[in-house]
Amino acid sequence: MTGPSSVVIEVDGASRGNPGPAAYGAVLRDASTGAVIAEDGTAIGVASNNVAEYSGLIAGLTLAAELAPGAAVEARLDSKLVVEQMSGRWKIKHPDMRPLAAEAKRLAPPGTTYTWVPREQNKHADRLANEALDGKRSGVTAVSAALVDEPEPDSVIEEVEAPPRRSWGPPGTATTLLLVRHGVTPHTAAKRFSGGLKSANPGLSEEGRAQIRTTADWLAPIADGVDAVVASPVRRTLESAEIIAERLGKAVEIEPGFAEMEFGRWDGLTFAEVAERDQAGLDGWLGSLETAPPGGESFHEVEARVLAGLDRVVELHAGRTVVVVSHVTPIKTLVAKALNAPLESVFRMELSPASVSVVSFFPEVDGQARASLRLYNARPPGDDAFSPAASAW
């Protein structure tokens, strides 16, 4: 079955206190039939109404990108502010709104239109937001388009019993990790191996501090929804985490499982220098999950401690959002885990300094773990404070 050529997103946000406990609701419909393709009702912690509205728009646009790629999109909201700002008629003056609007614009396909609707015509999305606030639902529910043949009248919202679950939207409350790679150090700029606690342990350069400050400012609008900032105990990640935690108004927690791979005798050397001294060892290590640098760790060894750290963080912050400041190898390992991808996939990922990746881990269902990747290797729009080529450890 081919997907719809056009879709409608219905969006609402709710905040009990403004700011206060907040959630959003998003409904994706086939524009030609009115059939519900998917619903998302998710709590986002403490936030304002505007943040909740923008979060719902981002969620709806994400649903459209995943389930109706290539379709024309109309977004309907009862927030005049969001409609006018996204349509380009009003300026976005509040700094907390700019990164959210930028993310929505990134997700919106060309030609996306934004329509204001009265609140009484937005009851479906409003219901989802309030159900999320009441703890009655969390995450995405997919509804087969074949189950609804006729458009739903405005005055009647028909429930579809026992909608099928999709792997990207399991039941239960997700624990969401915002994975931040540390900013650059002198070793990063020189493309030198820079490992964990047994390494030379360089600190951030001024460029690295600037990168992390930019990332911290980008994350600031969601500060109320962040439960904790967790860091690897390595100097460059601790320094990065302290900058972020100060901006978000949080304390820094330490998780040793998220430290970088140990490179042993290669630490502080460039690839060329290692090749000169130990070409056979380098050849054996490249692309291998089992081989470790002399005195260092293999990828499988790193995976074991990273996933042990993940278990501890998820247990301590279950159902919450956590900023995790870590390194290239642990972040790639967590992304591979979320995608249920083989560990070899880490060799096919690039990760920029001070970038943000977002993964969510859900409670098990029938003994089966569920997770999703929400964002990968993202940087604030228009940020020129880093070099995409600086992707070494």
Hey, CA dihedral for 338, 370, 15, 119, is it positive or negative?
A: positive
Separation between Cα atoms, residue 314 and residue 31, nearest integer Å: 39
| Rg, the chain, Cα only | 22
The CB density around residue 111, as the number of other CB atoms within 10 Å, is 8
The CB density around residue 240, as the number of other CB atoms within 10 Å, is 32
The CB density around residue 342, as the number of other CB atoms within 10 Å, is 9
330 closest CA partner among 196, 157, 132, 199: 196
Spatial contact of 370 and 167, defined as CB atoms under 8 Å apart: yes
Catalytic option among 124, 182, 187, 327: 182
Sequence-separated (6 or more) residues with CB below 8 Å from residue 103: 58
Catalytic option among 260, 262, 297, 303: 260
Spatial contact of 346 and 329, defined as CB atoms under 8 Å apart: yes
Spatial contact of 128 and 25, defined as CB atoms under 8 Å apart: yes
Q: Which tokens hold the place of 343?
A: 């560990």
Separation between Cα atoms, residue 318 and residue 324, nearest integer Å: 14
Known catalytic membership, residue 94 = no
HSE toward the beta carbon, residue 354, CA cutoff 13 A:
33
Spatial contact of 261 and 353, defined as CB atoms under 8 Å apart: no
Known catalytic membership, residue 182 = yes
Question: Which residue numbers are catalytic?
Answer: 182, 260
